[in-house]
Structure 1
């Protein structure tokens, strides 16, 4: 079971002081958060990709490459790589390069993003979001697995005799998660390829995400990758922790009330009751997180959002100390209890290289048009 942090990289005024950090300060803070994530014993740091204010992480590979040079074991991930508006060829090249620089400590989370204007900025149509996600990832998947690619699709110019460089490290591409908060088509895509499915369940009630995850698990088994229980699932979560519940709620309330997306709506208590948001003591945070396993089954990766809504860096680093010292060790122990032996561990490059050496996979996976049509039509 892997635990980590994801950030959306928002530049938001601190509602308690009125001060807005500069872009420079926010970028440097994200680096400090990543380094602290490794220091306190967590496994993963993930950054979003945004191309509009008030967000700063427009170049995840630059950010993660910089962090790779300052960490030793931390898995470096995206919490969104925009598969719809990025060129799959450039994704293949950029993340293979990052994979080499980081000694394999890299994976990606594919997503369509949540900002409509991004599509025309990059010459695309938001009404084609799902077809773009399906076609672009099909090409990326092939680029990482075939030395020479001949390809033709709807959304970019054809490729003839093209080789993406550098090739994936050790011949094993970065692990891919497909992230979604609402689209069964993306769960279907993850299942078809045998990739991970990341349900970022920070906004909506658990019933919605239970349906998505169960659908993914069923389709994962349908495509012959294993049992539903062996499907690779990641979850989001967020919250705020202090020694006692009263202090946590008092301190976090102004940040919640003014937070982008989740603020200016239901009360914090109402939001906590309906979503994974946990604001309280370490024990309350642990108890809330343990309900995820009850709701969604055994899973592989848990990422927490702790640095949004204008929270100052000092406070975020304090949250990481609490997570590392008091919360995650308990979660690791509790989630290991009665975990079936057939449930896979969280993906790492070393484990996937070992698996590739023992399983001798077909270097040219079946991509027949009937199956691709099934994915595209889902």
Structure 2
């Protein structure tokens, strides 16, 4: 595997195709998610990630179920989340569910924690949205303990205390799943990621690059402050999105109705303005390649690049064609990213590498 992980993420929206008025059923959308993940592995991508939503028009309310099912039908691709809701899920359940997934797929998984962007989800799970940041911090501290300590005694503000509690199963090989912290705007999340030496994922979809440059630089500085390495060695992931065809004008013409009607950004700025101001690229494979390689110029060398490709009502056939086109530029994208990466910038985290690092550290301790 390359030192850069390149993959896709889904938010699992069920959206009407504006070109023909057809809407997939929930069943079709869930099955399509599996096909997309399998195709991602087939074209050589490193990561497939699913969101977590508990409301229509989204289907991924149970990420670990979906990822385990995909895991059984794939061999190499890393399975992740584009959000695991740290605020409204019980950390005890997160610890169990994701450790189980880790065992089932032999370590080829990690997860991205986030608060989600749906306000009503808080009361559905008995939580108060005004406490979102406090919940994030307390729940994550508990999750860390559950994965790193065999017996946990714990008391906090938001859930009943734990006395002599053991989370089962324990993480595979005694190494907890790697955690990314996903964010669109919250400095506290960058601080949390930096404190624990975790990954930081900047969604990088809706906002101009200047916004994310500030957040990523803040995370890098705090990562160094907490003694995990230099700012350049912090573990950064980025989102992105594209629509491509061999001929760039064909891409523009085909994607425009989807863009104009998309629930997330339709009926707002023009596609031209949006592609200029955000990382959305609509054009030829070469344009997508050049635009993506430029991300490192703004954000520094980074470890994971995930693209959103299956949203806004795009039919499954079209999404699979997008993945074929991405597969064609993938070797060049990898080679270019690797060529520019300085030797002291770490590779993207994998379970095997983290187990090896832990064992090496233990051997060193014994030697001392």
| TM class, shorter-length | over 0.9
CA distance in 2: counterparts of 1:105 and 1:263, whole angstroms:
36
CA distance in 1: counterparts of 2:43 and 2:242, whole angstroms:
18
Deviation readout 1:247-283 (Å, 9 max, x if unpaired) = 0000000000011111110000000000000000001
* Aligned twin of 1:278: 281
Normalising by structure 2, we get a TM-score of 0.97
* Aligned twin of 1:218: 221
Deviation readout 1:149-195 (Å, 9 max, x if unpaired) = 00000000000000000000000000000000100110000000000
What does 1:16-31 align with in structure 2 at a 5 Å threshold?
16-31=19-34
CA distance in 2: counterparts of 1:149 and 1:254, whole angstroms:
53
Asked if 1:74 corresponds to 2:77, the answer is: yes
Asked if 1:303 corresponds to 2:306, the answer is: yes
Asked if 1:138 corresponds to 2:141, the answer is: yes
What does 1:1-378 align with in structure 2 at a 5 Å threshold?
1-325=4-328, 327-360=329-362
Q: How many residues align?
A: 362
CA distance in 1: counterparts of 2:205 and 2:226, whole angstroms:
29
CA distance in 2: counterparts of 1:329 and 1:266, whole angstroms:
34
CA distance in 1: counterparts of 2:331 and 2:17, whole angstroms:
31
CA distance in 2: counterparts of 1:46 and 1:260, whole angstroms:
20
Q: Where in structure 2 are there 5+ consecutive unaligned residues?
A: none
Deviation readout 1:188-245 (Å, 9 max, x if unpaired) = 0000000000000000000000000000000000000000011000000001000011
Identify which range, 337-346 or 62-71, moves more after superposition. 337-346
**CA RMSD, 1 decimal:** 1.2
CA distance in 2: counterparts of 1:338 and 1:290, whole angstroms:
10
Q: Where in structure 1 are there 5+ consecutive unaligned residues?
A: 363-378
Q: Secondary structure of 2:306's match?
A: strand
Q: Secondary structure of 2:240's match?
A: strand
CA distance in 2: counterparts of 1:76 and 1:70, whole angstroms:
12
Normalising by structure 1, we get a TM-score of 0.95
CA distance in 2: counterparts of 1:176 and 1:188, whole angstroms:
14
